[in-house]
Structure 1
Amino acid sequence: MIARSAINFRHLSKFELRQICYFMEIVDAEHSFSEASKRLNIEQPALSQRIKSLETVLGVKLFNRRRRPPELTEAGKVFLQQAQLGLTYIDRAITQAQRASRGEIGHLAVGIGSIIANGILPDVLRQFTKHFPDVELELRELTVEQEIQQLREHRLDMGFESIPSPYEQDTSLSFEPIIQEPFVIALPQTHPLATQTQIPLTALENEPFILPSLDVMPFYKKVLTLCEQAGFQPKIQNVQATWTMTILSLVASELGVAILPSNIQNLQRQGVVYRAIQNANLTRQIAVVWQRDNSSTALHNFLKVIKDVTQQSEFRSHS
């Protein structure tokens, strides 16, 4: 790439791109000014005058007009070669700028986590890369705190978050709900309750619970509240588990049971079964979050794909 300091913009501003294009058209017409004037739909004298103006600014003769048809001078041959390169880059710049304006090229940094990775994310990525294959997607697995911090610092374009969220009051961020999902109970395959299709929360009164850190996933306070409303205080195992696969491994080890979003059923973990929660209104809403002032067309194309995928998902679930 040529450094900006190496380009004399003031000198280049003396030239008209149209004149250079006229020169290229004459060359393409085998040096025939009359044929080029027909193609350009201008009078031949006017075309000749514009080429002379170009030569004056350049300070060189491009054509030897003593020959019929006129021939390129040595300076004209060099100018032709370099002008072709320059016009190629200008044409590419125009095309790429238009594509960027439509969100067809660019870079998009997306924060992901288990909150979305086990659900609609594969469908979203598949659809987006199908329609926008030249947008570079950078996927970052982040905690909620890391995600919000990077959004605030404009190092991340968008992420996913459970709502209500303590960050919803941040006026620099936009939250848009996209999907609501129920929770299920994850049990060891050998557990006596595994024979039931639905399990009431009261049946878990004496079961050890494996819960993620409430600092990392504050939503799980709602799980504790529902247990209290069912008449018991859950027995929480003394483990520091955050990632879904870790929690499932602990369930498979028969250290306890877990209450997890229903998308967890897309993961087949040997030794673990999933059962519906009976008579408990336990759901979570997932939202996409992005900087309110982010005007990236690629971002808004991604948001549209998310909306389309969630609508299709809701249609399938109701059909």
Structure 2
Amino acid sequence: MISTLVANLEVDLDVELFDRSRRYPTLTKAGETLISQAEILLERHSRFLAVADALSVTLESRVTLAMAPHIKLANLGEIIRDFSAEFPSVDVEIQSFTAGEIQRLIKQGAVDLGIILEPEGIPEAIDFRSLGTLRLVCVSHPNSPLALKPSVSWEELRLHRQILLKEAENANSAILKASSSIWQVSTATEAIDLVQADLGWSALPMHAVDAFVQTGALKILPLQFETKPYAERPVDMIWSFEKPMGQATAKLLDTLSEKGIIQNSVVT
């Protein structure tokens, strides 16, 4: 059945899509070119259907926003307050998951919007907008061997234990996973506790450690391979383009994209 459909398509297009000279057919160069175009058309078709469905969707009763635990929006409360005033009948649910969990829940339709560090590649059926950047710093106990150095190289980081924030395991952010000796934690608070006990160094969001640095409880390591005292990683808003988006969700997406401020410091 499939082979007949393919053969008919080749006749209609007047193009040979498969090389059948071997036991198992393989795509010809023309076939490879056309299949990529077909994938684009299928994606556009999915987006078209989602937009069409959204036009007939009534106002949703709830909007669910999921955020990676290390990402904070400085003005989230203000944004949600204004959203609630415009949509008083719509409940807002804000949850915290790892980036991988958020992507999975978005694809399943259990979460409407997600905020995560930019992934290595955008998963299938997920769209995104950039929200800004998250600043990360490497910190240690102020009396640790690394803290006593005028500058720290990549190799020197590798020689000392790293307290790794699990959520930070992102192949697009090599600075976050450097050492050959790693202890993993789930939250920045746990990482800070271990670093304060001089059990290792950690790469953490600036907003999580800023107050500790100001009091001298932690020290930011000056890295040889960064031009700034901190590293910056892109933050994205993601959602499924296959799921019809209601009016309230679309409004929250636009507002967060236009007005959301990534929190990078708690010290003014």
TM range (shorter): 0.5 to 0.7
Tell me the distance in 2 between the aligned counterparts of 1:218 and 1:264. 19
Percent identity over paired residues: 14
1:169 is paired with a residue of what secondary structure? coil
Residues 1:193 and 1:217: Cα distance change in structure 2 (over 3 Å): closer
Say which structure, 1 or 2, has more relative contact order (CA 8 Å, 6+ apart): 2
- Given residue 202 of structure 2, which amino acid in structure 1 is its aligned partner? A
Query: Which among 227, 235, 240 is matched to residue 291 of structure 1?
Result: 240
Query: Which among 109, 122, 127 is matched to residue 174 of structure 1?
Result: 127
1:300 is paired with a residue of what secondary structure? helix
Does the 8 Å contact 2:141/2:196 carry over to 1?
yes
Matched, 1:130 2:76: no
Residues 1:131 and 1:183: Cα distance change in structure 2 (over 3 Å): same
Residues 1:169 and 1:243: Cα distance change in structure 2 (over 3 Å): same
Query: Which among 159, 168, 171 is matched to residue 206 of structure 1?
Result: 159
1:149-228 aligned within 5 A:
149-166=104-121, 168-170=122-124, 172-191=125-144, 193-194=146-147, 199-213=152-166, 217-219=169-171, 222-223=174-175
2:77 is paired with a residue of what secondary structure? helix
Residues 1:197 and 1:176: Cα distance change in structure 2 (over 3 Å): farther
Shift of 1:165: 3.3
Give per-residue Cα distances to partners, 1:7-66, cap 9 Å, x unaligned.
Answer: xxxxxxxxxxxxxxxxxxxxxxxxxxxxxxxxxxxxxxxxxxxxxxxxxxxxxxxxxxxx
1:6-21 aligned within 5 A:
none
Tell me the distance in 1 between the aligned counterparts of 2:189 and 2:226. 25
Residues 1:128 and 1:278: Cα distance change in structure 2 (over 3 Å): farther
2:136 is paired with a residue of what secondary structure? strand
Tell me the distance in 1 between the aligned counterparts of 2:143 and 2:104. 42
- The structure whose residues are more often helix, as a share, is 1
1:277 is paired with a residue of what secondary structure? coil
Does the 8 Å contact 1:178/1:286 carry over to 2?
yes
Q: What is the aligned partner in structure 2 of residue 59 from structure 1?
A: none
Residues 1:132 and 1:197: Cα distance change in structure 2 (over 3 Å): farther
Q: Please, what TM-score do these two structures have when normalized by structure 1? A: 0.52
Does the 8 Å contact 1:265/1:274 carry over to 2?
no
Query: Which among 97, 103, 126 is matched to residue 148 of structure 1?
Result: 103
Tell me the distance in 2 between the aligned counterparts of 1:222 and 1:250. 21
Shift of 1:266: 4.9
Shift of 1:132: 2.5
Query: Which among 186, 207, 219 is matched to residue 263 of structure 1?
Result: 207
Tell me the distance in 2 between the aligned counterparts of 1:312 and 1:203. 30
Does the 8 Å contact 2:69/2:97 carry over to 1?
no
Larger radius of gyration: 1
Q: What is the aligned partner in structure 2 of residue 251 from structure 1?
A: 195
Shift of 1:248: 1.3
2:244 is paired with a residue of what secondary structure? coil
Where does structure 1 lack aligned partners over 5 or more consecutive residues?
Answer: 1-99, 228-233, 315-319
Matched, 1:273 2:222: no
Does the 8 Å contact 2:68/2:116 carry over to 1?
no
Tell me the distance in 2 between the aligned counterparts of 1:139 and 1:156. 10
Does the 8 Å contact 1:124/1:309 carry over to 2?
no
